Structure 1
């Protein structure tokens, strides 16, 4: 009698397990579920594409800096020169001894 009860219980458990598994699979195959799965996969693909584009951009910036260094384009800038002072012209105080007229014949 114990044997029959064991096999009956094992058969009932297998039937419940199989029914549950089939019902889950059927729910996954409904149009709403398929649309949700497709949307999730599209979002994941979009995130992966964005990450790839950012990696490419970072690589481009790094390579551009390497090439700039190799070609000397990223050389440090020379320090700025101080601003030049104004040169004051020498005033001629009616001193005829020294003429500063360039057009004058000597």
Structure 2
């Protein structure tokens, strides 16, 4: 008699445990739960991307400072606006040549990249 009661109780407990597990899994597969999981993962991915972008920005700033120091472009503390002194702008040789050539010698053909070919 005790043996039957033991196995009956063990079976009932296993049934309750299995039913609870199955119900939890089914709740995880409802559309609302799947949408919430997707939203949580998207937010988590957004945070990871933000952290990555901040790391890249910090690395870029550090490398830029290293290059400025190596090239002697460090900011001068005596300047009030603390602006980095950069070399003057470079001109393309073709543009300089074009300006020195008289207009009458320039070719009349112009290139328009929006023109149909």
Show the 5 A alignment for 1:69-80: 69-74=69-74, 76-77=76-77
Matched, 1:33 2:29: no
User: Which entry has the higher C-alpha Rg, 1 or 2?
Assistant: 1
Superposed, 1:1-106 pairs within 5 Å as 1-74=1-74, 76-77=76-77
Q: Deviations over 1:49-82 (max 9, x none)?
A: 01100100000000000111111111644589xx
Q: Which whole-Å deviations, capped at 9, do the CAs of 1:83-105 have from their partners, x for residues lacking one?
A: xxxxxxxxxxxxxxxxxxxxxxx
Q: Once superposed, which parts of structure 1, at least 4 consecutive aligned residues long, lie more than 6 Å away?
A: none
Count of aligned positions: 80
Could you tell me which runs of 5 or more consecutive residues in structure 2 were left unpaired when the two chains were aligned.
Answer: 81-117
TM-score, length basis structure 2: 0.63
Q: Distance in 1 between matches of 2:75 and 2:34?
A: 57
Q: Give 5+ residue unaligned stretches, structure 1.
A: 81-106
